[in-house]
Amino acid sequence: MILLSILAALVPTFLYLLLLWWLDKYEKEPWGLFLAAFAWGCVPAIILSIIFELVLDIPLSALVESASEALSRVVVAPVVEEGIKGLAVLLIFLIRRREFDGLLDGIIYGAVVGFGFGMTENLLYFIQNAGDPMVILLRTLPFGLNHAFFTAFTGASLGLARQSRQRWKWILFFPLGLLVAMSFHGVHNLAVGMGCPGLLFALVSDWGGITVILVVAFLSWGQEKRWIRQELAEEVTAGLMAPADYQAVQTIAKRIGARLWIWRKHGWRAFRLLGRFFNLATELAFRKHHLRMGTVRWQRPDELELLRARVRQARGALLNIMGVS
């Protein structure tokens, strides 16, 4: 049963992480930061949540048992768990602000912390319930995205703050996003304790929230594409990239097609180099956008030129592999 529980927790999480990685279409987050956020959700967030929930349950135990259990499930657990998960996203926002370009990045970091937390929590539930198929089914399929989408709201609020010229805006947006996450979490916990009608209500509430997050993510794709189109147009004129490069970097389908073509024709190294070229060009576009909009506090005077040099170097290496002078 333990092996089944481990597999039931790990496999869906792996698939969900692949989906999340795909969702970040234009500029992938650094693997190290992505895995660190996931690891925080997997272990420290779980341990801290258990400790804080046990401590806060002590004063509740003075109430009627049924009332204390309801308060613990509907109030204490959402507040503690979303607060601890949200702390990781806030730290990334404050310490690695350069990797936080907007709404989509906030959703990505929030969701990856949530997936880590959900995986470990599921494992504990599956072991506790001796691999009960119904528990596994409910917690991996209809409710499998819950912790990710709860914390995605917290991340989205910080992504929104990142796009503001006033750096202090996160002080306002972060608590609002956290409140939304806690509210969805609390509603879910309340509903699932009310039998079949409650389960149906939880499904409607949860998937309504997931739909909102997906809509925001899709709209963010369009926003990021506009940044790339606007900021890289002058780089074509300046000769940093060819018009074909400019067209390809704007469209995921063209990026994928170009990378598959170059892999078939010139091998794995060219495939990786082209991916690096696309990523660097996207990073250049995003940095230029933030500079133009005034959403960066400080930047090295030569930073854009250094980025352009890296783009030029990657493109030159590609042309050498392809035998183009």
For the record, the structure tokens of 107 come out as 């959703």
By CB atoms closer than 10 A (0-12, 13-18, 19+), residue 73 is middle
Question: Hey, what amino acid is at 222?
Answer: G
pLDDT digits 0-9 by tens, 218-252: 999 999 999 999 999 999 999 999 999 999 999 88
Measured CA to CA, the distance from residue 217 to residue 241 in angstroms comes to 28
Would you state the pLDDT for residue 121?
A: 96
pLDDT per residue of the chain (325 residues) written in tens, 0 to 9: 678 788 889 999 999 999 998 888 888 888 899 999 999 999 999 999 999 988 887 776 666 666 667 788 889 999 999 999 999 999 999 998 888 888 999 999 999 999 999 999 999 999 988 778 888 888 998 899 999 999 999 999 999 999 888 888 899 999 999 999 999 999 999 999 888 889 999 999 999 999 999 999 999 999 999 999 999 999 999 999 999 999 999 988 999 999 999 999 999 999 999 999 999 999 999 999 998 888 876 666 688 999 999 999 999 999 898 877 5
Measured CA to CA, the distance from residue 230 to residue 283 in angstroms comes to 13
What is the DSSP annotation of 128-170? HTTT-HHHHHHHHTTTTTHHHHHHHHHHHHHHHHHTSS-TTHH
Using CA atoms, how far residue 217 sits from 229, 277, 307, 314, in Å, is: 18, 24, 27, 29
pLDDT digits 0-9 by tens, 133-158: 888 888 998 899 999 999 999 999 99
pLDDT digits 0-9 by tens, 265-295: 999 999 999 999 999 999 999 999 998 888 8
Question: Hey, what amino acid is at 47?
Answer: I
Measured CA to CA, the distance from residue 45 to residue 165 in angstroms comes to 31
